[in-house]
Amino acid sequence: MIEQNYDQGLKDPHTKWAIRFFFLFLFIGFGYVCYKAYIEYTSEVRYTVLQFYERYSDSKRDGMKISYLADGELRYANCFTMECKKIKKGEKRLGYYFIDDPTFYGILYNITVPDSVLVPEEGWKEIPEFLKPKK
């Protein structure tokens, strides 16, 4: 019968470090998801206009670059959803951000915003009547 000469299992220091790093990254990912859920459930929402200003492409995916005004500051982000890929360069859509962390945002794809609309620095507390979809 052949016996294994090197069977240390979890005693191997490389295995221990690999397991530690795995749980560290798992903990960081879980923390991010919990933080985002906390912000979405506890923070106020402000509506703003998101401008799709350029196509974005890297080695893995395609999308659109967007900009929006949040708390008086112009913010930039990338959108990779299928709905974003259908939007043309230069179009504007209604979106929202969370006051506690404006880097989290959402897009209302069915509401197109005309160029003449100006957003207040603090955003709208609710969707303006002239932007609400007509039934």
Whether residues 58 and 124 share a domain: the answer is: yes
Q: Identify whether the C-beta of residue 78 lies closer than 8 Å to the C-beta of residue 68.
A: no
Shared domain for 53 and 28, answered yes or no, is no
- Does some domain include residue 3? no
Q: Is residue 74 part of a domain?
A: yes
44's tokens = 């106020």
Phi and psi angles of residue 85, each rounded to the nearest 5 degrees, phi first? -65, -25
State if pTM tops 0.85: no
Same domain, 53 and 31: no
Report which secondary-structure segment, H or E, holds 33: helix 13-42
Return the structure tokens found at 27.
């903990």
- Shared-domain flag, residues 64 and 127: yes
**Strand arrangement of the beta sheet that strand 73-79 belongs to:** 73-79, 62-70, 45-57, 92-98, 105-112
Which range of residues forms the domain containing residue 19? 10-41
Considering the domain architecture, whether residues 35 and 56 belong to the same structural domain is answered as no
Residue 32 inside a domain? The answer is yes
Digits of tens for pLDDT over the chain (135 positions)?
Answer: 666 656 566 677 778 888 899 999 999 999 999 999 999 999 999 999 999 999 988 888 888 999 999 988 999 999 998 998 889 999 999 999 999 999 999 999 999 999 898 898 888 999 888 888 776
Nearest CA-CA partner of 105 in 68, 57, 63: 68
Residues 37 and 49 occupy one common structural domain: no
Question: How many domains does one find in the chain?
Answer: 2
Q: What confidence score (pLDDT) does residue 2 get? A: 64
